Structure 1
Amino acid sequence: MGLTLTAILLGIVEGLTEFIPVSSTGHLILASELFGYDAAEWETFNVVIQLGAILAVVVQYWPTFWDEGMKLLRLEAEGIRFLRNILLGFLPSAALGFALRGYIYDMLESPTVVAWALIAGGIGILAIEKAVEPGPERKVADLPVRQALGVGFAQCLALVPGVSRSGATIMGALALGVGRKTAAEFSFFLAIPTMLGATVLSLADKGDQLAGGAGVGWTEVAIGFAVSFVVALIVIRAFVAYVSRHGFAPFAWYRIALGGAALAWLALR
């Protein structure tokens, strides 16, 4: 498979899976095993193209960001609470991810870890869906400190590839009494600083992978970025509408089926 085609494929996978609770990183790792390309060569690419999906969040929720940003500049309480909650949701995983990044890079090379994490996460989603009654819908700025920080600690689980950042944050929010729509939107907003931080760290540690030459370079990154942006913009709009009516159980069963199939395939190959 050529570099351009691989970049398009991975951009589609990233855009489809970044904001639904099925683990975009896990899918990208399994894709490398399925299609036979060098996962290490595409490791930094996979992180950087997440910025395309992040841009989709900014575009989709631009009125919210503008409104809260103006309130923050005027030092209004709602704008301050919005920033506070984003920071509380971001900082725990940022600190832990920085400290453990060596271990995380090692796990990124293990499709077996991804497969087991997919299964465990699917079971966790089913358990939370059955045990927890979603709370009322509200603005992200109106979440109390306890809920925002709790979601931040839940996001730490997503440092294990295959767990799913969106899955950990959304399910963590539901377990803490947040409504489905609010939980999904808070997860989207947290993706912005989280993925920006992950990209900066990855480029600092392994940015030389994109130096160009015969391998993966910035041309492939640009292609993956554009594709992931377009696909993620479509997914975000559809996802919030879907889970508001149907919940998350279908994603859980998908995770369990995919994880089981991946384990069987890895054992037989």
Structure 2
Amino acid sequence: MDLHYLTVILLGIVEGLTEFLPVSSTGHLILASELLGYDASTWAMFNVVIQLGAILAVVVLYWRTFWAVGMGLLRREPVSWRFLRNLLIAFMPSAVIGLALHDYIEILLGAPQVVAWALIAGGIAILLIERAVKDQRFHGIADIPTVRVLAIGFIQCLAMVPGVSRSGATIMGALMLGVERRTAAEFSFFLAIPTMLGATALELIKKGDQITSAAVGWGSIALGFVVSFLVALLVIRWFVGLVSKHGFAPFAWYRIVAGVAALIWLGVR
């Protein structure tokens, strides 16, 4: 297989595997650029667009939930309005802070060492939070109080540091604030939709020259999108079942091992 298309498929798999796991998809894509030796700036638009493939997987898997909420909004059902309200409130901190700090975030995206240390620190944090959390009183997204939803939104902003993980920050923040595991994971999935759409829109606006040039090629971008979508479909179902039974510790240990390995590799290459 041509090396270019092998890279396309590998990056699509990495995005689909890691977007919704608490291991940082952005961090893995940054480390992949270092490992595979490709020019990350050339592939910037590719990495942005294939994230939408993973987001589409959430829409497909949870279409019944979105349909029920949409119908509930039309019928003015309070639970549907609370569901929508909580998603929008949790999204607002990342929208405001992400826009304000976009240039600084771009600098961090070029620092693989930051990713490695963030993977390790995040893994340790997950282990500590898993042991400390006992109170899980909220079993539905619409049931989470507004103040706690806003706090989860601010905690999600920690993921602007590459390697922290948007889903990991959101899920751990939700657990600390009394949300049970499955609901915390699904809240992270749903919150990814406005968050990633907003981030993608910002990237498209900031990098308009890459939109027209598509240095990687639109055929490659389409292939990466499809691969990301298909892999994410499988991962989301598996992930929800796993954390409902076993928690998040396996991902914490993976983060620590991956971070240490990355530091060693970056130090000796």
TM-score bracket for the superposition, by shorter chain length: over 0.9
Question: Within 5 Å, which residues of 2 pair with 1:1-269?
Answer: 2-133=3-134, 135-136=136-137, 138-212=139-213, 215-269=215-269
Alpha-carbon shift at residue 188 of structure 1 (Å)? 0.2
Alpha-carbon shift at residue 182 of structure 1 (Å)? 0.3
| 8 Å Cα contact 1:137-1:181 kept in structure 2 | no
| 8 Å Cα contact 1:40-1:109 kept in structure 2 | no
Alpha-carbon shift at residue 139 of structure 1 (Å)? 2.0
The one-letter code matched in structure 1 to 2:162 is P
Q: TM-score, normalised by structure 1?
A: 0.96
User: Matched residue of 2:257: which SS?
Assistant: helix
| 8 Å Cα contact 1:49-1:221 kept in structure 2 | yes
1:34-72 CA-to-partner distances (Å, cap 9, x unmatched) read 011111111221122110000000011110000011111
The one-letter code matched in structure 2 to 1:158 is A
The one-letter code matched in structure 1 to 2:267 is A
User: Matched residue of 2:42: which SS?
Assistant: coil
Superposition CA RMSD, Å: 1.3
Q: Cα 1:207–1:5, aligned 2, differ >3 Å: closer, same or farther? A: farther
* Structure 1 segments of 4+ aligned residues over 4 angstroms from their partners: none
How high is the sequence identity, in percent, across the aligned residues? 68
Residues in 1 aligned to 2:170 and 2:257: alpha-carbon distance in whole angstroms: 22
1:207-247 CA-to-partner distances (Å, cap 9, x unmatched) read 3224347x312222111110000000000000000000000
The one-letter code matched in structure 1 to 2:217 is G
Residues in 2 aligned to 1:131 and 1:249: alpha-carbon distance in whole angstroms: 13
Larger displacement relative to structure 2 (37-46 or 78-87): 37-46
User: Matched residue of 1:15: which SS?
Assistant: helix
User: Matched residue of 2:130: which SS?
Assistant: helix
| 8 Å Cα contact 2:21-2:168 kept in structure 1 | yes
| 8 Å Cα contact 2:136-2:178 kept in structure 1 | yes
Residues in 2 aligned to 1:58 and 1:102: alpha-carbon distance in whole angstroms: 30
Alpha-carbon shift at residue 138 of structure 1 (Å)? 1.9
The one-letter code matched in structure 1 to 2:230 is V
Size of the aligned set, in residue pairs, is: 268
| 8 Å Cα contact 1:212-1:218 kept in structure 2 | no
| Structure 2: stretches of 5+ with no match in the other structure | none
The one-letter code matched in structure 2 to 1:77 is P
Residues in 1 aligned to 2:231 and 2:5: alpha-carbon distance in whole angstroms: 17
Residues in 2 aligned to 1:82 and 1:159: alpha-carbon distance in whole angstroms: 25
Residues in 2 aligned to 1:210 and 1:265: alpha-carbon distance in whole angstroms: 33
| 8 Å Cα contact 2:138-2:144 kept in structure 1 | no
1:100-122 CA-to-partner distances (Å, cap 9, x unmatched) read 00011111111011111111111
Q: TM-score, normalised by structure 2?
A: 0.96
Residues in 2 aligned to 1:95 and 1:175: alpha-carbon distance in whole angstroms: 23
